[in-house]
Amino acid sequence: MLKKIIKKAYDHFLNQNTRQVKEYQKNNKEIFFKNGQVPWSEGYATHKETSISQSISDVTILDEFSKKKVPINYGYRLDERIVEYPWIFANLKKEKTIFLDAGSTFNFDYLLNNELIENKDKYIHTFYPENKSYNHKRISYVYGDLRDSPFRNNFFEEIVCQSTIEHIDMDNSMYGYDLKSTLEVVTNKSYEYLKVIEELLRVLKINGQLLLTFPFGKFENHGFFQQFDDEMLQRIFDLFEGKGNIETDYFKYEKEGWRFAEKNELSQVESYNPHTGKGKSDDGAAHCRSIACIKFLKNA
């Protein structure tokens, strides 16, 4: 009897807390829209999260991404995560897999609760522990440098590395990491990201899948990340050569929102750095204006 009373009280608390969170999110979003949908202003994070959550749960939108289409005005004034996540979820294997999140971009409850991911044996590899962890969801957290993975060869059936390699060898102190770039001049390129690609290839099983995304366009070094250009992209393709099949999609942000793009459209596209203001324009871009998304299937 006592257990039933405690459980009933606990369930009531959870339901009440859920209602309060939803009410806060609703009010927060209203503020964002009322103030003109300015990226990174009050309510932006709430609008972004709910938009991503709705997109990855919408079969129609995921099907559109599979067909290389996006709805009109999709992701208006939202950063690149609004296309990265649906693209990734549209390409995830439907069956249970041994799954690696290389960079900890899936460490959010609204992502982990999605039916396309919740049945997988999940590992998250990131440099330092984060504020939240979801051990009760049977996630294995591993901490360390992605350039030196602790996993054995041919271990994972599925790997996602989302907007992570552009931060390798860069100044990550803004994320709370005691990591400084080895670069002395901010106009230089770092090729340390190739070591991450090599490690991901090593730990990926034959017939396994790697989904990889990163900023792509005109080369830029923003200190905490670099935007890859065609030469840096080609180095990734060279590592993949002879090891499997590659499919690459590109996205571009314009005033009306995000769309699929061709690679040759993006060579001069610049990112907006919300921390420094560099690259700000009147198009309402929240961050990167173009990205590359690679699907690699290993066969050797």
| Domain extent at residue 107 | 67-298
Q: What is the C-alpha separation between 21 and 19, in angstroms, rounded?
A: 5
* Model pLDDT for residues 186-227, shown as the tens digit of each residue: 568 999 999 999 999 999 999 999 999 999 999 999 999 999
Chain mean pLDDT for the chain: 91
Residue 224: CB atoms within 10 Å: 18
* Model pLDDT for residues 116-133, shown as the tens digit of each residue: 999 999 999 999 999 999
Structural domains counted in the chain: 1
- DSSP single-letter state for residue 228: B
Q: Is residue 9 part of a domain?
A: no
pLDDT at 46 over 50: yes
Residue 177 CB partners (closer than 8 Å, separation 6+): 127, 128
Q: Is residue 29 part of a domain?
A: no
Q: Are the C-beta atoms of 207 and 195 separated by less than 8 Å? A: no
Residue 288 CB partners (closer than 8 Å, separation 6+): 79, 80, 215, 217, 227, 253, 271, 272
Q: Is residue 141 part of a domain?
A: yes
In this prediction, residue 185 carries a pLDDT of 46
pLDDT at 234 over 50: yes
Q: Is residue 14 part of a domain?
A: no
pLDDT at 174 over 90: no
Q: Is residue 11 part of a domain?
A: no
Question: Lowest mean pLDDT: which of 5-9, 35-39, 56-60, 118-122?
Answer: 5-9
Q: Is residue 227 part of a domain?
A: yes
pLDDT at 261 over 70: yes
Question: Lowest mean pLDDT: which of 9-13, 67-71, 168-172, 232-236?
Answer: 9-13
Is the entire prediction scored with pTM above 0.85? yes
Structure-block tokens of residue 226: 């670099």
* Model pLDDT for residues 59-89, shown as the tens digit of each residue: 999 999 999 999 999 999 999 999 999 999 9
In this prediction, residue 34 carries a pLDDT of 94
* CATH number, position 183: 3.40.50.150
For a pLDDT cut of 90, what percent of the chain falls above it? 84
pLDDT at 14 over 50: no
Higher model confidence: residue 189 or residue 183?
189
Higher model confidence: residue 20 or residue 207?
207
Q: Is residue 271 part of a domain?
A: yes
Q: Is residue 51 part of a domain?
A: no
In this prediction, residue 15 carries a pLDDT of 53
